[in-house]
């Protein structure tokens, strides 16, 4: 039932409720209260404590208008024992004051604060009592809900009561498909009881509230998983071209590499090869820490597709990373007769026309690019494999558009999705239940641990002096800034100002500048200068977070490190430690550090394991957008919260499997109830 059908809820209120995700009465029932107020008992005036929110009452003794920095009206109420309380109003009307005449009995609720004339409540909720002072007390705790401008708590409470009333009176059907064997535990309440507890608990039922909330969180997580598993089943029904790599070509590829493959890379290659050989689309997520060698795994998969007569699209989030992939993959595959091409948004005129024609006719086997790959005029001859790097940086529709380009007579391309940002196990169980996982959990030999230190900004001069010594030893360095432009509010040094300061302070050091506002050609020129050692120090924004590989650069300074998330700091640090000799990362921070920021920097100093760091980041940041952009496109949770509810997930997976086997109608009902129409966006 839409909330607009409830008496008293007009168009403007409906629009405001939509901001809270509330369009139906079920939406209000899963709009979980933030806290509860006890209005079931009266606290005498002489027992009120500062900081307490309480219901109290008394007789109006006086009303006084007070002049000061802000004009206010003070209504003093008292009780027989002589105790009193001031009610302060900064906004009032003459009619309001006329009702608060001495002798009137008043009941009020609010927070007790210290005031200049004794304890007071500022703008309390109140009403006049005309009969028995003990009458009219609530029997339930009063819920306080998350709200938005223009939506009063009374409106949300009234809607919740209406929803519960309709269920109780049989005017609305609330189907509960989770019997005792399908709940988190048999002791958890059923759906109807959980909703009543959360919105209208009696005072003695307060200990039951965590279990009631957990019951809703369980069902929401279950609906999310059911949707992803159904999506997985639907995807598996599509056909895909079987791709196989001849043994001789696999041997030639391995022999042509300038390094041996790790055991982890070989294991992942076997997993991917097995999937590619099937006649249904591979849907595999490849996780690997910074520098673990995901690109060479992707190159081998691309070779498998080309050897089978199909094309490959490799999509990267930035031109810088696309160009680096092109440089590496083309070197590895060219000796094997594979044509590789680059397609970037900046390609214009005849260059672009020629490249599009090569792709359309199948003259090139591997096409590497950015978002330019899924533009309408890009047409593939036979697209058999899609490889998406740093997948969280793309919108879901972009990935779908690229996949759909490969639909050829009912055959869809295989998909390999890569990320260098390890995904916490709990998050993966929720957001990627429809994908198979491969993990490269081993670094190539020769990669050295980066020595990481945290240094306060006051010692910036010492850090700059260290750069001069570092460069004198023939090494290169990065200096990472958080913003391009100056911002006093964030206390972040602008990259341009920092570059100029370092040029002035270090006259013998060749300083380059790289940031997102530079044109593509200018970025390439700066990066090439750095790679070819024509620059000693590269001042950059986080554009270098992914894909930059300069082995001689073994020192990184990250300015305002306390403003970065753990995962991003780990990604940035991964740009060094790629060559011979020691490597260092200096985390410059602004004092004083918050407790959370201090924890983040301490974790980074202690650990180099990206998976451990991701788990710690997840714990510190909770259910926020860990990777910056929602991976699946599924709407945010309404009742569940991760990682708090992560312990429910094994039971969720168990119940999900049982429902899909035994009750084919339950998944559809639960998906529609909790996820609605958004689940199709989850397809990647």
Residues 574 and 547: their CA atoms lie apart, in Å, by: 10
- In this structure, what DSSP letter does residue 558 have? E
- Residue 393 sits in the same domain as residue 510: no
* Cβ proximity of 25 and 158 under 8 Å: no
Strand, helix or coil for residue 663: coil
Q: Which residues touch 301 (CB under 8 Å, ≥6 apart)?
A: 269, 272, 273, 276, 312, 385, 387, 416
Same domain, 163 and 308: no
What is the per-residue DSSP string for 47-58?
G--TT-EEEEEE
**What residues does 106 pair with on adjacent strands?**
58, 128
Residue 206 CA to residue 431 CA, distance in Å, equals: 32
The reported pLDDT for the residue numbered 153 is 92
Residues 497, 576 share a domain: yes
Q: Are residues 108 and 164 in the same domain?
A: no
The pLDDT of residue 681:
38
The number of residues in the chain equals 684
Domain match, 24 and 157 both: yes
**In which residue are the tokens 């009452």 written?**
57
Instruction: Count the helix, strand and coil residues of the chain and give each as a percent rounded to the nearest 5.
Output: 40, 20, 40
Nearby residues of 481 by Cβ (< 8 Å), 6 or more positions away: 492, 493, 494, 495, 498, 539, 540, 541, 559, 560
**Sheet strands (E) in 180-298:** 283-288
SS3 annotation, 297-336: HHHHHHHHHHHCCCEEEEECCCHHHHHHHHHHHHHHHHHH
In-domain check, residue 623: no
Number of domains within the chain: 4
Answer whether 476's CB lies under 8 Å from 554's CB: yes
Q: Is residue 531 part of a domain?
A: yes
The closest of 202, 200, 125 to 162, measured between CA atoms, is: 200
Tens digits of per-residue pLDDT, 539-556? Answer: 988 776 555 678 899 999
Kindly state whether residues 198 and 327 are assigned to the same domain.
no
The dihedral built from the CA positions of residue 315, 252, 263 and 585, taken in this order, carries a sign that is negative
Q: Pseudo-torsion of CA 198, 202, 203, 204, nearest 10°?
A: -100
Same domain as 579, residue 520? yes
User: Considering the domain boundaries, does residue 637 fall inside one?
Assistant: no
CATH number of the CATH domain containing 481: 3.40.50.300
**pTM for this predicted structure:** 0.73
| Residues of the chain with confidence (pLDDT) below 70 | 131-135, 391-402, 446, 483-493, 520, 544-548, 621-636, 677-684
Domain end call among 592, 607, 622: 607
Say if residue 404 is in the same domain as residue 462: no
Q: Is 65 in a helix, a strand, or coil?
A: strand
The b-or-e profile of 450-487 (16+ CB within 10 A means b, else e) is bebebbebeebeebbebbeebbeeebbbbbbbbbbeee
Helix (H) or strand (E) run with residue 62 in it: strand 53-66
Are 59 and 40 in contact by the 8 Å Cβ rule? The answer is: no
Does an H or E element contain 573, and which? helix 566-573
Query: Would you say residue 426 lies in a domain?
Result: no
Q: Is 617 domain-assigned?
A: no
The answer to the question of residue 231 being in a domain is no
Residue 12 covered by a domain: yes
Residue 658 inside a domain? The answer is no
Which contiguous run of DSSP H or E holds residue 113? strand 113-115
Following DSSP, what letter does each residue of 371-428 receive, concatenated?
GGGGSTT---SSEEEEEESSGGGS-HHHHHHHHHTT-BTTB--EEEEEESSPPPHHHH
Q: What is the DSSP string of 124-172?
A: -EEEEE-S-TTTT--SSPEEE----TT--HHHHHHHHHHHHHHHHTTSS
Q: Are strands 72-78 and 53-66 parallel, antiparallel or unpaired?
A: antiparallel
Rounded to a whole number of angstroms, the CA Rg of the chain reads 31
Cα 252 from Cα 334, distance rounded (Å): 12
For residues 364 and 490, state if they share a domain: no
Degrees, nearest 5: CA angle 265-268-271 = 155
Domain span at residue 154 reads 3-36+149-211
Residue with tokens 């996949």: 403
Q: pLDDT tens digits, residue range 279-333? A: 999 989 898 877 788 999 999 999 999 999 999 999 988 887 888 899 899 999 9
Q: What CATH number should be reported for the domain holding residue 112?
A: 2.40.50.140
What integer pLDDT is reported at residue 398 of this predicted model? 59
Q: Do residue 26 and residue 131 come from a single domain?
A: no
Let me know whether 176 and 261 are in one domain: no
Same-domain pairing of 486 and 564 = yes
């Amino acid at each position: 039932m839409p909330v607009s059908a409830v008496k008293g809820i007009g168009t403007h209120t409906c629009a405001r409720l939509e901001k809270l995700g509330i369009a139906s009465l079920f939406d209000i029932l899963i709009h979980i209260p933030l806290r509860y107020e006890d209005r079931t008992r009266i606290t005498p005036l002489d027992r009120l404590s500062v900081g307490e929110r309480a219901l109290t009452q008394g007789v109006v003794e006086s009303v006084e208008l007070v002049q000061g920095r802000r004009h206010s009206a003070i209504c003093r109420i008292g009780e027989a024992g002589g105790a009193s309380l001031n009610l302060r109003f900064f906004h009032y009307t003459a009619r309001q004051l006329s009702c608060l005449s001495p002798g009137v009995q008043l009941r009020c609720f609010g927070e007790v604060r210290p005031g200049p004339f004794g304890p007071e409540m500022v703008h309390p909720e109140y009403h006049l009592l005309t009969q028995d002072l003990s009458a009219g007390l609530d029997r339930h705790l009063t819920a306080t809900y998350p709200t938005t401008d223009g939506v009063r708590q009374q409106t949300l409470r009234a809607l919740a009561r209406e929803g519960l009333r309709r269920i109780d009176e049989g005017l609305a059907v609330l189907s509960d498909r989770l019997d005792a064997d399908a709940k988190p535990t048999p002791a958890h309440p059923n759906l109807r009881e959980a909703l009543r507890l959360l919105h209208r608990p009696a005072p003695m039922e307060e200990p039951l509230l965590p279990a009631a909330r957990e019951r809703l969180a369980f069902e929401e997580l279950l609906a999310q998983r059911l949707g992803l598993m159904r999506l997985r089943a639907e995807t598996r029904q599509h056909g895909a071209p079987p791709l196989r790599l001849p043994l001789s070509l696999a041997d030639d590829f391995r022999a042509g590499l300038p390094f041996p493959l790790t055991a982890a890379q070989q294991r992942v290659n076997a997993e991917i090869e097995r999937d590619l050989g099937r006649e249904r689309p591979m849907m595999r997520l490849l996780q690997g820490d910074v520098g673990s060698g995901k690109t060479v795994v992707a190159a081998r998969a691309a070779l498998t597709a080309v050897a089978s007569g199909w094309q490959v699209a490799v999509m990267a989030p930035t031109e810088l990373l696309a160009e680096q992939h092109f440089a590496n993959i083309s070197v590895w595959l060219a000796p094997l007769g594979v044509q590789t091409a680059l397609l970037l948004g900046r390609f214009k005129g005849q260059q672009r026309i020629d490249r599009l024609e090569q792709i359309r006719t199948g003259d090139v086997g591997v096409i590497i690019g950015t978002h330019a790959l899924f533009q309408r005029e890009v047409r593939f001859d036979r697209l058999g494999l899609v490889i998406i790097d740093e997948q969280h940086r793309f919108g879901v529709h972009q990935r779908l558009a690229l996949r759909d380009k490969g639909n050829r007579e009912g055959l869809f391309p295989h998909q390999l999705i890569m990320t260098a940002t390890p995904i916490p196990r709990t998050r993966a169980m929720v957001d990627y239940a429809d994908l198979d996982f491969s993990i490269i959990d081993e670094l190539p030999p020769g990669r050295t641990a980066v020595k990481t230190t945290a240094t306060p900004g006051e010692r910036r001069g010492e850090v700059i002096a260290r750069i001069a010594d570092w460069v004198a030893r023939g090494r290169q360095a990065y200096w990472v800034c958080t913003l391009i432009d100056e911002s006093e509010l964030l206390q972040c040094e602008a990259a341009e100002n920092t570059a100029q300061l370092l040029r002035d302070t270090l006259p013998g050091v060749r300083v380059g500048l790289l940031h997102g506002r530079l044109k593509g050609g200018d970025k390439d020129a700066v990066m090439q200068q750095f790679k070819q050692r024509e620059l000693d120090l590269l001042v950059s924004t986080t554009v270098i977070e992914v894909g930059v590989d300069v082995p001689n650069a073994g020192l990184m300074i990250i300015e305002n490190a306390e403003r970065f998330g753990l995962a991003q700091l780990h990604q940035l640090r991964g740009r060094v430690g790629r060559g011979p000799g020691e490597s260092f990362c200096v985390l410059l921070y602004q004092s004083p550090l918050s407790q959370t920021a201090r924890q983040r920097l301490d974790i980074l100093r202690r650990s180099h394991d990206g998976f451990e760091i991701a788990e710690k980041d997840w714990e510190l940041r909770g259910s926020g957008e860990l990777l910056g952009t929602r991976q699946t496109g599924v709407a945010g949770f309404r009742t569940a919260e991760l990682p708090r509810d992560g312990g429910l997930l094994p039971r969720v997976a168990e119940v999900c499997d049982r429902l899909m086997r035994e009750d084919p109608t339950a998944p559809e009902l639960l998906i529609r109830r909790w996820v609605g129409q958004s689940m199709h966006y989850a397809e990647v």
